[in-house]
Structure 1
Amino acid sequence: MDECNHIALSSQLIDEFLSYRHQFNTSKVLCMSAPATAPRAITHRTRGTTHGPITRLMSPGDLGQVLKPFIFLDLVHFQPGAAQQGFGMHPHSGIATVTFLSEGDVRYEDSTGQAGLLPAGGVEWMRAGNGVWHTGAPVGDTAGRGFQLWVALPAALENAPAHSQYLAPELVPQVGPVRVLLGEYGAVHSPVAAPEGMTYLAVQLAQGERWTYTPPPGHTVAWAAVATGALTAGEPIAAGELVAFEPTHQSIDFVATQATRFVLGSAVPHPHELVMGTYSVHTSQAALRQGTTEIRRIAGQLRQAGRLG
């Protein structure tokens, strides 16, 4: 081999070696890069049980144990003119109820003296505390659809005086597709005087729209329930389903596969056992007895006033 050919061959070998080394290093970098974060896992899924216009998705004896302070969730679908569409006068203690209907209006009355009409998109917050009686029913000829949630109150509030708030739709803060029913979302706070450490949102997404929820610090409890439409959050979530997510601080990515309305809750875990009465949930038997005594006292007043049979 002459000298010129030898030099050319050596140059070719060097170029091939450098090209191989570049490909090896690039492949090595790709192999060593961090894998994509897996979606936050869904640990529980339910369609609940349906009786008339109400589907009970969660109660204190089942998923409420997993998702406390969120302990009870009803998906309601009222039909105009149908029988048994309302709630008769009934008591609570130790909890707060949150009612939100995206469709339809509801009349309300409670033993704190509040009464009126809650339009679609408004929020009812009823902190039962030491004891309260209330009632509600759909009005008008429009179908009603939405959710009623119970939250377990902290020990400092479970026997506090009853307190109610009713927010007109225009008073419920909105950020993009999100309405802030309780707690905070980003820099926006609900005007409802709920305990610290819990957030409850109503979300409406168009088909194909994506939305990511990043929980506030300490909110390892998280769940979502779909009223209409369908979502994916790592796995499909259909209308009428409630899903609970694994207890971590990880964000949750949602994609609407149809036009969708859903609610989402996140919270710092409730540190107490759930001590249950008929309509009440407390942190101890002593607190439950105190609430039961107050409920009986109010019942006597309501009967005397002709408001309770």
Structure 2
Amino acid sequence: MNYPQKVRIVEVGPRDGLQNEKQAIDTATKVELIARLGASGLKTIEATAFVSPKWVPQMADNSEVMRQIERIAGIHYPVLTPNMKGLEAALEVGVTEVAVFAAASEAFSQKNINCSIEESIERFVPVIETAREHGVQVRGYVSTVLGCPYQGEVPPEKVAQVAQTLYDLGCYEISLGDTIGVGTPLKTQAMLEVVAAAVPMEHLAGHFHNTYGMAIANIFAALQLGMSVFDASVSGLGGCPYAQGASGNVATEDVVYLLHGMGIETEVNLQSLVATAHWISDQLGRSPASNVAKAIAA
């Protein structure tokens, strides 16, 4: 089996991990979290989201976060920009990478943003074009790639269609999200084989949620097909909003433990990452959600 020799981890804790936290988290804590993640060796850290504070109040300090973080050479700090207003605000604070997101499920798209998949992508066209005119890279997210809370099964062909559309529009990488964590290894591989026929594997990333405890198994299955980029969240930050009490994002330290155990390079210092997992969990007043952080003391 030819596994990748090196894997890039996209750390989504400061954005995807924190955005659904009910307690208000101050800007200083977010800035410190980003700094600690960078010090652990992570090279891509999704810093915040330029979205309406009405819908995502936790991200209301987006501009302040970007102004306060120390941007280390060699580390990328992408932000989420779902519309032109968000992009314009992000450009004002000098971002170098943004992300847009679409769903592979029509039902999910209608329920969440009240429009079809096609209509949602049409909204992204000026965002992607304007970003690229400013020399800003654009990453695309596709959600519900292995199942939808409203329609159930999602055909891999639909995932491939949405992924290819975003890729053709200019997204350099497409992150495939198992939003509700229902995927299993063979289903993951079946989906990836179809999508990789439309978008080259080197431009695809995996974003697995751990609702049913399958995230690490699904990452292993994706590695077998040559996937070498994975999204993860320190301490498993970010619950699954569609399954009460369920875990959401796979924990970064669990992913790193797997990869290091396979001899795959990540550039991440696991001990430092685990210390960061314990630190942010202390700030939030709870224990880390990851197995590795539980097994390794702070």
TM above 0.5, yes or no, is no
Query: Structure 1 or 2: larger helix share?
Result: 2
TM, length-normalised to structure 1: 0.31
> Which of the pair has more CA radius of gyration?
1
